[in-house]
Amino acid sequence: MVLVSGWTGAMDAVVTSLLAPGTVAVRHDLSRVTEGVVRRTLYVLGENPRETILELAHGCVSCTLREDLLPLLRALSTRSTVDRIVLVMDPALEPEALCWAVDNVIVADVVGQIDGPASRDVRIEAVIGCLDAATWLADATGDDTLADRGVVASGDDDRTVAQLVVGQVDYADALVVTAGPDVDAWERARLAAVLARLAPNAPVVWVPQDSMVDGPAVLASVPFDARRGEITDAHSPLLRGQPPLSVDCGVALVEFAATRPFHPERLHEAIDVLLDGVVTARGRAWVATQPDEALWIESAGGGLRVASAGKWLAAMTPVEQDRIDTTRRAMAALRWDEQFGDRDTSLVILVHQADPTEIDRTLQWALVSDDEMTDPAQWATWTDPFGQWHEDPCESSESPYADQSREATE
């Protein structure tokens, strides 16, 4: 299966170029999903598109995946005439969430098949991200919500456009960038610098506006060690591949690491530094008032998400630790502290206009001070703005961290 995603760009041209004997393309139009209506279209070379109107009891992305798309993938995989499925993703969908669903959501009651996830029958060959050079960076650093643009994937969808478009590029195995004559050399160079750091393993194909795209060549360019739908977690390495660590066109990666916790109120005050002049920030944080649980912090443009990243190893029982991936345990052993175990903070921030020194200074200020470190028993008495949690509705397939998708209320 090949996933083609994007908010803008040459998605249709990529899909058209991939249609060949043995290939079927699938598109779900979610523009009316909140009304319980989804339009599904199948494309086969040499045939007219086949459209089906789906009526869902509950209109949301999760239901679309669970009730139609995932069973359809399993059903198509049984056809002898189908060798490849090209999934044309609705602009409101994030490829990582879909790949998580393919691997984890159980599809039941498919005639002739054992109940299980769609990954029993389909393998993700590549994720191709499409973007428009004239608008992507503005979208990726803005604070418009999807609702501001007239796109609502569920009744409580408060995602920003930046969170969506950054996620689409970050997860891509290859990128197709449309660049018209209105994109000058400086804009192109700055965007190239961002893409090289956000998706360092992904080859970038630049194409003129409204031109043909060689989809098979794009697929052939995907490196052997590409992610191809792999799901990582908050304790996986934050820097994938070998992104440039130098400054280019004002674009740079800032790494922040600390072996002492954040003061919760100071972190709450400082966290806006991740939203100004920053394309994206992501990583895990140790907050003094939450000794057992790591926090996942992720920003894109003006959008911020703070969620649970699960327990620290030091807070687990030996039985729980035995269930953890050996790579994570090995990495934790290298930095293990006698008092605090594997608790630490590790953030990676991609800036395009911000001052890296100011970001580091602000985050350092938010850490627990030397005097405060001498009395850990006092930490539990501090006010914690990150301590109030609520459960996301429809958590069954919305997020790659669905079992941990609790967002902090601001």
Pairing type for strands 174-179 and 204-208 reads parallel
Euclidean distance between CA atoms 113 and 315, whole angstroms: 41
pLDDT digits (tens, 9 = 90+) for 166-207: 999 999 999 999 999 999 999 999 999 999 999 999 999 999
Check: CB of residue 101 under 8 Å from CB of residue 141: no
pLDDT digits (tens, 9 = 90+) for 25-37: 999 998 888 888 8
Phi–psi pair at 93, nearest 5 degrees: -95, 145
What is the structure's pLDDT at 410?
37
> Residue 268: is its pLDDT beyond 50?
yes
**Structure pTM?**
0.90
- Least confident range from 147-151, 153-157, 163-167: namely 153-157
What is the structure's pLDDT at 61?
78
Mean pLDDT value across residues 266-287: 96
- Least confident range from 114-128, 267-281, 328-342, 382-396: namely 382-396
Q: Counting every residue, how long is the chain?
A: 410
Euclidean distance between CA atoms 169 and 195, whole angstroms: 8
Percent of the chain predicted with pLDDT > 70: 93
Check: CB of residue 124 under 8 Å from CB of residue 173: no
Euclidean distance between CA atoms 10 and 215, whole angstroms: 11
Euclidean distance between CA atoms 207 and 188, whole angstroms: 12
